[in-house]
Chain A
């Protein structure tokens, strides 16, 4: 079965420093792939290359069979490729709900013409988006903080808002960059549940994470990266047991 997202022979180097070397990766609908490896292995860089934050040197990325190579970051997102950030990158001047409202794939308020002459369209969109946002926040246990500023929330909840925002765009493929870093308690359980539910709804999910327990419990497949290359694939349990990989992970 062809994947939702296909990465083929992707390479990138900065002034001779290789951050991605002939990467092949397939993300399938409904499955969660865990990307593990030590710091500097190129996991976040791979996300940046796939999503279009950084241009790659060679190779190709296909979303539902069509190449993304020539599309800009925001165009890839609109096409159904969504991502989150390790350090949330929420909009601090907006309340939680507005962080979400702005993130639908067809937000009409982005166009001045609509704001000046398309009131009806804006209103219609707003009510649909608001329902959707409230629904997503409810699932995450964030309904009661919808009108708070994101900076007033504990860090774990901010991470959840980051995922909630990424879900507003009806992604087919979701890239999560260290969703668990700094997350504990209730938010931890909520995050675990949400990621699983997202995958069950048919989204292809890829997670970069250092929390091995989280990866092991959640992922269908693990991919081990080291210095820009994929070293091993398999079940997460297998990867953890491999003494060679453990050595790479913790250093010599």
Chain B
């Protein structure tokens, strides 16, 4: 059972990561590859605070989320002031740089990783309770992103993606919207990181490498950008795939590269034959509830 719980939690966390990344790249139209490093910032902050500073785990998790959120704003603010394209370049530097720092300072455990992270809920209520916690957060994140995309904010995000100059011409501030989207999405990644740390109780830099970024991106693209269920389907599928390969009993040295090739191949296949992903997005923005009247008759 423990094995199964581990898989469920990993899938749940990837759904959270993919859904929050969908907010950033799908709804916000912001290209970043730094999602794994915000995941790492959440994990490390929460782990260090709870193990070495005696902070209650719940508080440490909150701090992990907050650190990821603030770090993302610090990254987005200068780059988005110039232009949206600079965020990608800045995010590459940020992803590589922060991970390098984590590897080279002592309080993170360095390249060997950070061990003995205090568990949460498991001792008192069993592993099942943690599964419930992760799934509850997952559902909350899916609902949150769904809600935002269908709210007045979603309308604004749609318009901003359509035409940013026109968006400015009606008095809207695209820059702050992008910063808010990026901050929220990255903060959620931080939360996922803290949830990861207190279940598996061991974190190491290689778990947050740049390759993770392509995994998350693949989940969103294969699942379907700008849809509620796309990232969920994508995360499920791409987590099931490695599990399926592991039954082939290939040596570990081959397994990693094969996964990489498979993921890249999958993205290419989808780009050619189904760019809209498994769950295609609607071209037209829709509110949570349509106004009454003749709305929708023409569609």
Residues of A within 8 A of B (CB): 51, 53, 72-74, 77-78, 82-83, 85, 89-95, 97-99, 101-103, 105, 107-112, 114-116, 122, 126, 130, 147-149, 152, 165-166, 168-169
Contact = CB atoms under 8 A, between A and B. Distances in A.
Nearest to A51: B169
B115 interface: no
Contacts of A108: 152
Interface string B159-178: 10111011111111110010
B166 A91 contact: yes
Nearest to B184: A112
B179 to A, nearest CB: 10
A150 to B, nearest CB: 10
Contacts of B167: 74, 91
A89 B296 contact: no
A147 B293 CA distance: 9
Contacts of B152: 107-109, 114-115, 122, 126
Given A102-B170, A102-B172, A147-B297, A109 B151 contact: yes
Interface stretch (B49-57, B262-270, B283-291): B283-291
Contact of B298 (A92, A94, A147): A147
Tell me which of B166, B167, B173, B284 has the highest count of chain A C-beta atoms within 10 A of its own C-beta.
B166
Contacts of B249: none
Contact of B155 (A92, A94, A111, A166): A94
B166 A78 contact: no
Contact of B162 (A91, A103, A148, A169): A91
Interface in B151-206: 151-153, 155-156, 158-159, 161-163, 165-174, 177, 180-181, 184
Contact of B169 (A77, A94, A97, A116): A77
B105 to A, nearest CB: 33
Contacts of B172: 74, 102, 107, 110
A83 B171 CA distance: 10
A73 B166 CA distance: 10
B262 to A, nearest CB: 33
Contact of B173 (A89, A110, A122, A147): A110
A144 B166 CA distance: 24
24 contacts: A74-B171, A74-B174, A89-B165, A89-B166, A90-B166, A92-B162, A93-B161, A93-B162, A94-B155, A94-B162, A95-B295, A98-B285, A109-B151, A110-B172, A110-B173, A110-B177, A111-B180, A112-B153, A116-B148, A122-B151, A147-B297, A149-B299, A166-B170, A169-B170
